[in-house]
Structure 1
Amino acid sequence: MTGLPWPPLRDPLVGDEPYGAPQIDVPVQLNTNENPYGPSPEAAADIAEAVREAALTLNRYPDREASALRDALAGYLNRDGGAGLTRAQVWAANGSNEVMMQLLQAFGGPGRRAVSFAPTYSMYPEYARNSITAWVAGHRESDFSLDLVAAEKLVREVAPAVVLLPSPNNPTGTALPVEAVSLLCEAAGNGVVVIDEAYGEFRRAGVPSALEALPRHRNLVVTRTMSKAFALAGARLGYLAAAPEIVDALRVVRLPYHLSAVTQATALAALRHAPELLGRVDDLRVERDRTVSWLREQGLEVAESDANFVLFGRFADRHRIWQRLVDRGVLIRETGPEGWLRVSIGTPEEMNAFKQALTEVRAAEEEGGAA
């Protein structure tokens, strides 16, 4: 073994950097699509009490099936697009990241392919890499919509084991048209079609959830998270709805006792406060639409958004714009196609700070002067 690289990484991992958005201590942080409105004191007290009770039994392993939590999640989804979902059709894990990895572990692997359409969530190819699944990326239109004819053709040609499609899309905010879900489920044959609705609660009125199509397609999976609309990013709870056979497959690949008693207690308490925690979603939608309008008034290109973030551009040197915003205490995300930036929707005060900083930065750019 003398002379071989150390440590002995798999070849696809050599030279790769860990995923992660910059974590910079500035007054206005609008780069990770968090909900800026945390739980109320009442909700926090209920969560704390639930965790205290769980702590009394931490000498025992948690419920490995997360039965009570899955019942509660099914009830919530039945109020937001689902119909008659039960525990057998719901699964939960440590963030939607673990949900996605379990899906790739169960249905991907050597000799199998996963498909998505760029630009899309940058972790998808890493899920494929980590599960030794071949990655195939189609492309979106210039407005970031999906050409359904081209998408169907690619899926039929590639015959992927897994199709990964966020709706709304990250980083563009674009929602899938209602007909896309059924079209791609049929094109995928026995392949699993995953509609990632991490930002689903932020969709505009009239935009349906893919949950409505679940009864018609046994190969459809709809994933959600409590990180965004529920303002529970620190708890790490992702979940999905699918046919019972798909849920059973994930139970095969999950690690033993993968969801801690503390996480389960936290999520159950949060679900008891769902109306309150979701109560600021409408405010964030309004602030998003204001931000879109304002950016367009500044002469910038802006992608249509059904999420709690907005992609805008285009800039000849987006990194310089990003850095000058950071210098003014505003952190957004340098992501997506070259020339574009993404801003998460914060409080009105945070968005005003963003607008003021961007106005100053653009003025400095036009003058060609210092930041």
Structure 2
Amino acid sequence: MSGPQPRREVAGMKGYHSAQVDVRVRLNTNESPDAPPEGFSAALAERLAGIDWNRYPSRSAEELRSGIADLHGTSQENVFAANGSNEVIQTLLLGYAGPGRRVGLFSPTYALHAHIARVVGSEVITAPRRPDFRVEAGAAARFAAAEQPDVLFLCSPNNPTGTVEDPETVQAALEAVAGYGGLLITDEAYVQFAGREPGRFSAVDLLAEDAPLVVCRTFSKAWALAAVRLGYALAPAHITEELHKVVLPYHLDVMTQEIGLLCLQDAAAADRRAAGIVTERENLA
């Protein structure tokens, strides 16, 4: 007699794992080589001294979401926070993908997008990037219009190629999914490393209550908080409302929320850290 079997989709999959090695520069996981600034741990200990450990954390992390909203000039109703941008993506796909639905990707790109899509039971469809690893605006629009994925991912800067999409490409993809009722998710985990041009474009510029667009960000990279697992989505309020239905209760623990709030007190530190890394990258180029 056989034992319990996983779902067919899961049985044929490999887990998503990156090797963890004890070296200063870890390019395979793109961790910051520098820790948060001196005094961070002491300031955190002071904040944690006042925690009621016998109480559950804020269920929807209102204070943290409000701080993130202030950073982006929006409302906390437009912010969803979770344990890393990966949990943000998982929650989005639990709500907007799944069995009988399709998720579109431009390959090669971040492998976890397809991995999570398959875990939740979605069909994954792909379109190739150009030889320079960018996505041409017309190609993005044609792929979306022809295949009509329920969710379309656009990773910019792309992981692992580092290529940044033109504003026209993001706009074309957004208009295409809006035409048939799909959702565009832009993964901007590395946006602070895209360069230092004034007025640098971000898909955040296209957010609106009537736009089917979600922008994912993380504290793991430029914020140097990979150990914490904190990410967030910026989206129309009606989308974040659906995400709060899907996510587990009290999913974001009190320490993560407090660390996020502490970092937001000096939000410019993340940009300074990223700028230093960009400078070193340019020196090596």
Q: TM-score, normalised by structure 2?
A: 0.94
Q: What does the per-residue CA deviation read over 1:54-96, in whole Å, with 9 as the maximum and x for residues that have no partner? A: 2xx1211111111000000011123xxxxxx100111100000
Mapped pair 1:111 → 2:100: yes
Question: How many Å separate the matches in 1 of 2:220 and 2:278?
Answer: 17
Question: How many Å separate the matches in 2 of 1:67 and 1:61?
Answer: 14
Q: Runs of at least 4 residues of structure 1 off by over 4 A?
A: none
Q: What does the per-residue CA deviation read over 1:41-65, in whole Å, with 9 as the maximum and x for residues that have no partner? A: 22222122223322xx121111111
Q: What does the per-residue CA deviation read over 1:133-182, in whole Å, with 9 as the maximum and x for residues that have no partner? A: 11111110111011222221111111111111111000000111011122
Percent of aligned pairs sharing the same letter: 39
Distance 1:88 1:33, change over 3 A: same
Q: How does 1:185-334 map to 2 (within 5 A)?
A: 185-189=174-178, 190-204=181-195, 205-206=197-198, 207-215=200-208, 218-291=211-284, 293=285
Mapped pair 1:156 → 2:149: no
* One-letter code aligned to 2:48: V
Question: How many Å separate the matches in 2 of 1:252 and 1:28?
Answer: 39
Q: How does 1:30-41 map to 2 (within 5 A)?
A: 30-41=27-38
Instruction: State the match for 2:121 in structure 1.
Output: 132
Q: How does 1:94-105 map to 2 (within 5 A)?
A: 94-105=83-94
2:271 aligns to what SS in structure 1? Answer: helix
Distance 1:27 1:283, change over 3 A: closer
Superposition RMSD in Å: 1.5
> How far off is 1:30 after superposition?
2.8
Higher mean displacement: 9-18 or 32-41:
9-18
Question: How many Å separate the matches in 1 of 2:204 and 2:210?
Answer: 10
Select which of 147, 161, 169 maps to 1:180: 169
Question: How many Å separate the matches in 1 of 2:112 and 2:210?
Answer: 26
1:123 aligns to what SS in structure 2? Answer: helix
Mapped pair 1:77 → 2:72: yes
Larger Rg: 1
> How far off is 1:38 after superposition?
0.9
Distance 1:37 1:28, change over 3 A: closer
Question: How many Å separate the matches in 2 of 1:243 and 1:216?
Answer: 5
Distance 1:201 1:27, change over 3 A: closer
